[in-house]
Structure 1
Amino acid sequence: MKEYILTPSSKQIFANAVHSTSGEVRDAEHIRSADGQTAKLVYPEGGVKPAILLDLGPSAPGGYPVFKVAGQTGNPVLRIAYADWYEWIVDPVHGEYGDFSRGSCTYLGVELPVPPANPYRYELYTIHGPGMYIAPMIQGQQRWVLIQLDTEGSSAEIEYFRLENVSDMSPYKGHFLSSDEDLNRLWYASTYTAQIASFPNVDAWTIVEGWLIPRRLAKSNDVGLSVKGEEWKDYRFSCEFVIRRNPGPVSAVGWVIRAKDENNGYVGQIDLDSRLHLYKRIDGVYVRLKPVVELSVTITDGVTYRLEIRLDGPRIDTYLDGQLMDTTVDSTYSEGKVGFCQPLDKWALIRDVRVEARGGETLFADDFSGDLSGWSYAQTASFIADGAKRDRLPWLGDLDWAGRNVYYAFDNYSYMKDTINMFAFHQTPEGYIWAVCYPENREKPGIGEYGYYQSDEFSAWFAPVLADYVLFTGDLDLARDLYPVVRKGLDYLWNYVEGDGLFFQRYETSKGIWGHILERTGKGAYVNILVYDSFMEGAFLARHLGMDSDAADYLSKASVIRKGINEHLWDREQRCFVELKGSKDFNFYANALAIAIGFPDRQQVDSIVSKLKETDMGKYQSLAIRGKFHYHHDEDAIGRIRKPGGGVDWIGALHDWRGPHASWECMIYPPQGLPPGKTWGDSSHPDAAMAHLLSGYVLGVQPKEPGFKAFEAVPHTCDLQWAEGSVPTPLGEIRYSWNRSDSEFRASLESPEGTTAVLGIPKPEMEAYTIYLNGQAIYHSVGKASETSDKGIGIDEDDRYIYLRGLKPGNYEIERKPIVNN
């Protein structure tokens, strides 16, 4: 299994290989490890820019860029650019700026990626001497890193380049293997894609290599303060700082003194234009204390400076490297905490903070060798984002797919739990739940505030996502806590179900199904099938929480919507669901969702499956595949995993050295042909749910009651010879394997305490066979009655399987053998 795992083994990630070099580069391989040896880039006058192109490997990780310089000549400026696909980093015009330019993706109406991700896909560093250089912003996902020297007549010796990983690194607790090598690779690529988009947090402040990196998040205050210090009056506040260059606006470092709270205190700032700015912050508003002070020294990015502020009554003295820069007198604030203030686009690193009383007594000190418990700043819970490179925000609808990767591979459910809680917080008073949210936001939405992506479709995903979480994890405590959110959300949806039983999609909340503008109004099949599922999943939650009357009510409302869908959205001539009431247009997404949730009857489904050929969206093709397995169209399902069509090709990407080995949302492969410099397509969206398709159907293990208290092992063997796997559950690990030949089938099950299992044994084409359980014949297809020596085990069958029901915890060996007539 180890050969398939893409998760980095260490937070410190070095390049897999040097792909190529250009210009005068010596010993480029040394940049791949911290072994004390160096790579050298030399840019002679009139020469060629020297560059090293690093391949970070198929995991294409993200994180904080860190590199160490051993020496330099001249005044070198080093450029580092990032891209997830090879063609984008070698583009002759745009490659040195990375794969997309700032502001090139704005379809949400907000800038992507959001902080603490870098909105630029390149960085510039002035190399002033030996030492470690750290980027204060994250580069989200990349396979390729271009390291280039930009200044003629200079050289730089670099000991190493690496990334400080910021994504989840949880160990695998589940696995999947089969006789198909491509499917094995796809399972691990899909589960790793969920990991790279799972963040323990996106806090405003963090520590990297002993440096504090303070930043502002998009929806947070730009100030962070010491926990202690309300009563500090006259003191000396000091620290070391480095300012990192921003390719756009002038970067700076900012500090806070005598702060009553994050909105009131004195604020100072030194920028790369060598200027000092002094403010008093009153209720969050910056008021200048004096005109800008031109410093007597030149401030250079990458240089470490020592700042000291001396407070004596109303007098404020600012020192830089021991030299007095300014004296200001103001009596607005006489006491208070210290901290740092970093507005958007102002990037700095801080270390060695000290606060001393006038007599020399140490009031506070932090060298950032530990944690940040001495500080108060904007913090977030963990969450699963829609992608690591671009859409670094959680999206409600996408969690359904993402979760089905997580549950089969890991026993760390905190990312899903925290993300679900974030969306519960973003419910409006009338019950609508936002489609996308900022993890750091602490302001509840008001009436009619529909968020950044106004979509009832996304709002309707809340109950299904929570129900899935409960089904796989058994976390009824969270279900109980959030049940009021479910109830209010379902009441909101029911308000727009009209007399024909159909949900009417209003203009105000009509974004969805890949329509990023408000226009999808009317009675659409996809949204109605989703609303129906939302009520069904609401009933599931209510039943398991003992809310029987609510469960009955939700089932009744689901029945009304089901009737409306079948009467008004099912085309009896074409035998499929149409896009809108009154339309004749086939809609792939609606029909895929319908079979994925088991909505059609047997007479409907064969016709639907015959029409589900291709789509340009991998996540909806995944829904279609789920439904095909559900209705036992196994050959079509496995065929679509291998060759989806419509531009989608999961396995093709896994064989391509040019990009990440991931299973992303759109999954257009090769990637979409966006203009050079605007290739913001994200290859790290975890919403393909391949782990569920392979572990849940091909292997066959699925929960039937919350937390796997009841589960089934019913394999869809397709054309495979064998499959094995383990599934982490709250009750312990389920291990299951099967193998088959033309005439025989064998399976092995280990189930933990507290579970009850159903085993499905595929029926062969032959008529005469016997099934053995732990060596005892328990079923004969002809000639003899079934034998059940194990009390409590029931046997029944349908046209595809023999089912053994009521299996208690333990180990089971199952064999199906042909009866040979002597």
Structure 2
Amino acid sequence: MRLFALGLALNVLAGLDPSSAEGLASDATTIILGSNGTITLKGNSSTSEVILDYGANVEGFPTFEIISVSGDTSGLQITYSESLAVLLSSPTSDGPLGLAAAMDTYRINNYNITEPTNKTNRLIQGGFRYQKLALLTPGDMVLAKVGVKPSISTTPIASLPGSFQCSDDRINQIWNVGARTVQMNEIPARSIPDFWEVSSEGSLVHSLAPQSLSGVVASSLMDYEIEFDVKPIAGGFSFSALASTLNDGVYIWCNIANGSISANSGSSESADFLAFATLPSNITVGNWYHVKAAISAELISIYFGSTKVLEFSQTYAFFGSSGLGAALGQSAMFRNFTLASPAVNFEYSAQLTDTSFLPDFLMGTNPLAAAVDGSKRDRISYAGDLDVAVGSTMVSTVGVEYIMGTLELLGSSQMTPGFFSPTAKIQQEPYSKPLESNITGLIGYSFNMVTAVANFYQYTGNTSIAKEWAPKVVRMLDWADSQVLPSNGLFNISNPAFSGDWNYYDPAQSGVVTKFNMVYAYALQSSLTMLDDAGVNTTTYRSRLDALRVAINTHLWNSEPGAFYISEALTDSFGQDSNALAILAGVTNSNHTSSQVLSTLSELSTPSGPLAFSNGTVAAGFRKLISPYASAYHLRAAFAAGDATVANELLHSLWYPMADPAGANYTGCFWETLDANGGPGLGAITSLCHAWASGPTGELSTYILGATATKPGFREWQVSPMTLGLSWAAGTIPVPDGGVYVAWNATEGQITHLEIESPANTKGVVSLPVCGDGSTWKLNGQAISTSNGTFTVNGGQNLVFSLS
């Protein structure tokens, strides 16, 4: 095996500096090349494999040129991975990824090469740093221009609208990596290709996970039948039963290549085994068959024609819908699909001979630009992720169209009671009216929707956003109030289906849960300005916020650790994000102070960053993992409380190791989750480019540059930098009419020089240290004085404050 780093010397790994375009070799047709030269593969030899290192994550359509071939070259296999360790150890690399149709399911592509040719994949490979080329047959081939055609923006970080630099290169690297993480998760409109190849003969499916029929009714079916015609072309085909909206269900694999049919849990053939049978010997590839499956929570029966080939019961999945697919290396043609459930008077049918059915399975293109959670996984929009990503986006890429598209998708999924669906697949069209449903999941994400849109409005000042969203926010907040217990004034989850949170792998909490009360308070607080500007009388919401803060302090505080406990079921433990939100939502007070909460949260610290929950939760089934998502709120709370020590510890223990090009799993992006040792926390499937981890980029610009909007759209602003022990910092926060540029120098933590440029027709307040040693402040060379260190200024001019 050979290892190339962007065409450099053999066996050399080179990290990409994400703040520049250097290292990403690009030719005139916008191909990011994994190697600048030719690559020779000789099958059945020591040179049968080559690994290319792109230095940092890339994504898009893999492409290569075959210069020459000799002998048997039918077995070219190309594998992708964010992690070298996973690429070398896992037979399926860091896939398969069956959750959505926004990228290729498998991280392995097989090619039958017989002559010189150019190849470009039809589907996108999500984020990967490494690419392994292997010739599995005893021939020789020479390849060139091996690379990827980007499906996202590749604007160098240094050329983005927003900027940040300071005297600590580690902090600069953190800001840059966060910006690149955001950029990697901004999906342009109509950039996702159709998942299937559709013709008048039927739909060709090659190595793709089944995507379940979408819709409120379809996703909740418990008893139904499906029928379809199929012509296996290579190996066999598959379909799903009782599959969720994320395609997790019962996976039926008709592996005609070895004459078997099996059932697995999950969304691919690599999941856990449920049932098995031998197929009749007369079922072969190349012929059309009619397949029927009778599906219920109790029993699943499968027929080829009138012959029953498999029947089994299972306890893995109990409701959902179905889709069609093909396992790795297999392909089939499908047509005439029907799904019927007489029990709920539901029927669906499609001939599968034109593309009109693709949106029904969310397998078409994406109608809107959207911000997703991860470049590799899940490539789905989540409200919780957006809540963190908005701030980092607006100070770096300023991807307004991506946030607007995501808000349109998620906002259209509001249900009649007022709460939202927590997720939206980017291939779906926005709904035209509220969904007739009285249940959702991840209820905290509905509150995150409110804070995300309120934060976005604060950056943009776009009054149309306020007017469009005010009725949605009012419905959500009014529903939340209806769930408050009269006995204690706390928000209560009476239906466990609403529970669950970003940590899906931990036990869901219902009843009175501190996190949900905190995020409710934060949503109330964050939305007041937007509601006021939309003409809503906010007196009631302010009163509710005051009452909720009192109730939380009265009932949810545990004086023993000095923190707010997790839930009424876990009163001896505390969570990182819920306590950080207490600071951000103004819940902390003179009795339960922000400094006390931050001090208690320090008990979560490890050399690799803070654990998301205290050790007492382990006995309740919680995992000891580190969450950049929960830590984003922790970091924001530390900055908001003016605690430079905590902020520095978080930045340097958690985020810098991910941002360090010398790190073992460096991708140029921030990760979804870490284990207690600082490695990828969820194994091979861990997303190593996850937007919810980008929090430091937004917070560094907001607090170190110190520029914040005191009126939406930065019509009025404040500059009050926090030095964080730095000697200088400079950067631009983009605003609707230009940008607010801030640059400062500091000595021993005190600012001595400050420059500000801001758009005309704005005004601001500048906060500087009060001089008590005989020094005076000058503004553009003229002495100025103030008793409290604040100066009111007008925009549209270059302001230079200097201490003399």
- Same fold, judged at TM 0.5 (above): yes
Structure 1: runs of 5+ lacking an equivalent = 18-28, 31-37, 103-110, 222-242, 252-270, 280-289, 292-300, 303-335, 347-375, 780-794, 818-822
Shift of 1:122: 0.7
Alpha-carbon distance in 1 for matches of 2:565, 2:664: 40
- In the other structure, the counterpart of 1:236 is none
Find 1:167's aligned residue among 123, 144, 152.
Answer: 152
Alpha-carbon distance in 1 for matches of 2:25, 2:469: 36
Amino acid at match of 1:200: P
Shift of 1:806: 4.1
**1:463 has 2:450 as partner:** yes
Aligned 8 A contact 2:164 2:172 in 1:
yes
Find 2:734's aligned residue among 714, 728, 731.
Answer: 728
CA gap 1:84/1:342 in 2 versus in 1, 3 angstroms? farther
CA gap 1:165/1:562 in 2 versus in 1, 3 angstroms? same
Alpha-carbon distance in 2 for matches of 1:88, 1:247: 27
* SS, match of residue 573 in structure 2: coil
1:475-624 correspondence to structure 2 within 5 Å? 475-499=462-486, 500-506=488-494, 507-516=496-505, 519-547=508-536, 549=537, 551-572=538-559, 574-581=561-568, 583-601=571-589, 604-613=593-602, 614=605, 615=611, 616-624=626-634
**1:413 has 2:414 as partner:** no
- In the other structure, the counterpart of 2:184 is 196
Q: Is the deviation greater in 585-594 or in 682-691?
A: 585-594
Amino acid at match of 2:481: W
- In the other structure, the counterpart of 1:691 is 697
Q: Is the deviation greater in 713-722 or in 609-618?
A: 609-618
Alpha-carbon distance in 2 for matches of 1:341, 1:732: 43
Q: Is the deviation greater in 120-129 or in 439-448?
A: 439-448
- In the other structure, the counterpart of 1:63 is 60
Alpha-carbon distance in 2 for matches of 1:657, 1:672: 9
CA gap 1:16/1:796 in 2 versus in 1, 3 angstroms? farther
Find 2:720's aligned residue among 708, 714, 722.
Answer: 714
Amino acid at match of 1:67: F
Alpha-carbon distance in 1 for matches of 2:417, 2:779: 55
**1:747 has 2:754 as partner:** yes
Alpha-carbon distance in 1 for matches of 2:533, 2:356: 48
* SS, match of residue 115 in structure 1: coil
CA gap 1:246/1:673 in 2 versus in 1, 3 angstroms? farther
Amino acid at match of 2:776: T
Deviations 1:565-588 (A, max 9, x none): 111112345442222248243332
* SS, match of residue 716 in structure 1: coil
- In the other structure, the counterpart of 1:404 is 391
Structure 2: runs of 5+ lacking an equivalent = 1-15, 215-232, 239-252, 256-282, 292-304, 307-327, 330-350, 606-610, 612-625
* SS, match of residue 173 in structure 1: coil
| Identical residues among aligned pairs (%) | 21
The alignment's TM-score, normalised by the length of structure 2, stands at 0.72
Alignment RMSD, CA only? Answer: 4.1
1:192-591 correspondence to structure 2 within 5 Å? 192-201=180-189, 205=193, 218=211, 273-275=285-287, 339=354, 378-442=365-429, 446-448=435-437, 450=439, 454-499=441-486, 500-506=488-494, 507-516=496-505, 519-547=508-536, 549=537, 551-572=538-559, 574-581=561-568, 583-591=571-579
Amino acid at match of 2:394: Y
Aligned 8 A contact 2:39 2:142 in 1:
yes
* SS, match of residue 721 in structure 2: coil
Which is greater in Rg?
A: 1
Amino acid at match of 2:175: W
Find 2:644's aligned residue among 615, 634, 645.
Answer: 634
Shift of 1:736: 0.9
Alpha-carbon distance in 2 for matches of 1:408, 1:697: 12
CA gap 1:57/1:724 in 2 versus in 1, 3 angstroms? same
Deviations 1:49-103 (A, max 9, x none): 7011000112x11111111112223242100111111111122xx3x5323346x
Alpha-carbon distance in 2 for matches of 1:392, 1:145: 20
Alpha-carbon distance in 1 for matches of 2:21, 2:529: 36
Aligned 8 A contact 1:672 1:681 in 2:
no
1:86-97 correspondence to structure 2 within 5 Å? 86-91=84-89, 94=90, 97=92
Alpha-carbon distance in 1 for matches of 2:52, 2:725: 40
Alpha-carbon distance in 1 for matches of 2:289, 2:66: 32
Amino acid at match of 2:542: L
Alpha-carbon distance in 2 for matches of 1:639, 1:763: 28
Aligned 8 A contact 1:12 1:162 in 2:
no
**1:144 has 2:130 as partner:** yes
Aligned 8 A contact 1:509 1:518 in 2:
no
* SS, match of residue 579 in structure 2: helix
Alpha-carbon distance in 2 for matches of 1:671, 1:632: 27
Find 1:77's aligned residue among 75, 78, 92.
Answer: 75
- In the other structure, the counterpart of 2:19 is 4
Find 1:756's aligned residue among 760, 763, 778.
Answer: 763
The alignment's TM-score, normalised by the length of structure 1, stands at 0.70
Alpha-carbon distance in 2 for matches of 1:481, 1:687: 25
Alpha-carbon distance in 2 for matches of 1:9, 1:762: 47
Shift of 1:796: 4.9
Aligned 8 A contact 1:214 1:340 in 2:
no
CA gap 1:683/1:639 in 2 versus in 1, 3 angstroms? same
Alpha-carbon distance in 1 for matches of 2:437, 2:288: 44
Alpha-carbon distance in 2 for matches of 1:342, 1:744: 62
Q: Is the deviation greater in 6-15 or in 483-492?
A: 6-15
Alpha-carbon distance in 1 for matches of 2:127, 2:435: 35
Aligned 8 A contact 2:95 2:107 in 1:
yes
- In the other structure, the counterpart of 1:351 is none
**1:117 has 2:117 as partner:** no
Aligned 8 A contact 2:395 2:698 in 1:
yes
Shift of 1:775: 0.8
Alpha-carbon distance in 2 for matches of 1:97, 1:594: 42
Alpha-carbon distance in 2 for matches of 1:528, 1:139: 39
CA gap 1:80/1:382 in 2 versus in 1, 3 angstroms? same
- In the other structure, the counterpart of 1:665 is 672
Deviations 1:631-669 (A, max 9, x none): 11123212321124xxx6545644326430212332558
Alpha-carbon distance in 2 for matches of 1:81, 1:337: 30
CA gap 1:422/1:543 in 2 versus in 1, 3 angstroms? same
Aligned 8 A contact 2:374 2:691 in 1:
yes
* SS, match of residue 661 in structure 1: coil
Shift of 1:14: 3.1
Amino acid at match of 1:720: L
Shift of 1:220: 7.2
Alpha-carbon distance in 2 for matches of 1:9, 1:602: 57
Q: Is the deviation greater in 418-427 or in 538-547?
A: 538-547
Paired residues in the alignment total 639
Amino acid at match of 1:196: M
- In the other structure, the counterpart of 2:743 is 737
